[in-house]
Amino acid sequence: MSTKGDLNEVMSVVPDGDRAKFLPKMFGSIFPHVERFVYVFADKQLHGYSSSCGYWEFGLTGGGRPFIYPVMKNEIILVKHPFNDFAVKLPVALAGLVMSLQALCLCLEKYGPDIKSTEERDRLIDLYHNLISDGYSIAGALNCTKQYFELVD
């Protein structure tokens, strides 16, 4: 399993000056919920993470799709499956992408009917599906496709 060196080819980090507008631009009207649920899922599923860990990076996949991930000392983290005791080790950035996917999925189910714009709702549904695919590209570059598959499929 590779780490940071290979990430530059399949993802990028949002510059500090663009952070304030990033989540609303990318996740639309449900951005506060997506952000909150990412932290909740991380607290429950990322071994060694606690909500006091602090700083999160905002990332873009090679396809330009958003996700967030914690900055941690360890580049590899144990990720627990949300519905059972199964767990796999993933690079932290990819673990954050998985948390972002889960949060987006939950928010679409919970708040999707309240999104007034059909265009926004459809864009967020497409974002979810495309982010899964982009995650496979990142996992492939980091030699952890099997582990990623075991969590998202």
Distances from the Cα of 34 to the Cα of 50, 64, 74, 98, 139, angstroms: 18, 18, 24, 12, 22
| Helix-helix angle 118-141:145-152, to 10 degrees | 150
The closest alpha carbon to 56, from 64, 41, 67, 45, belongs to 67
pTM (predicted TM-score): 0.92
Listing DSSP states for 85-145 in one string gives S-EEEEEHHHHHHHHHHHHHHHHHHHHGGG-S-HHHHHHHHHHHHHHHHHHHHHHHHTT-H
Give me the torsion for CA of 133, 137, 139, 142, rounded to 10°: -170
Kindly state the tokens that stand for 47: 């071994």
Encode the chain (153 residues) as per-residue pLDDT tens digits.
Answer: 544 445 677 899 999 999 999 999 999 999 999 999 999 999 999 998 876 667 899 999 999 999 999 988 778 999 999 888 899 999 999 999 999 999 999 999 999 998 989 999 999 999 999 999 999 999 999 999 999 999 998
pLDDT recorded at residue 3: 46
pLDDT recorded at residue 79: 96
The closest alpha carbon to 90, from 130, 56, 141, belongs to 141
- Could you identify the residue written with the tokens 């919920």? 33
pLDDT recorded at residue 2: 46
- CB-CB contact of 101 with 95 (8 Å): no
Largest distance between two CA atoms of the chain: 43
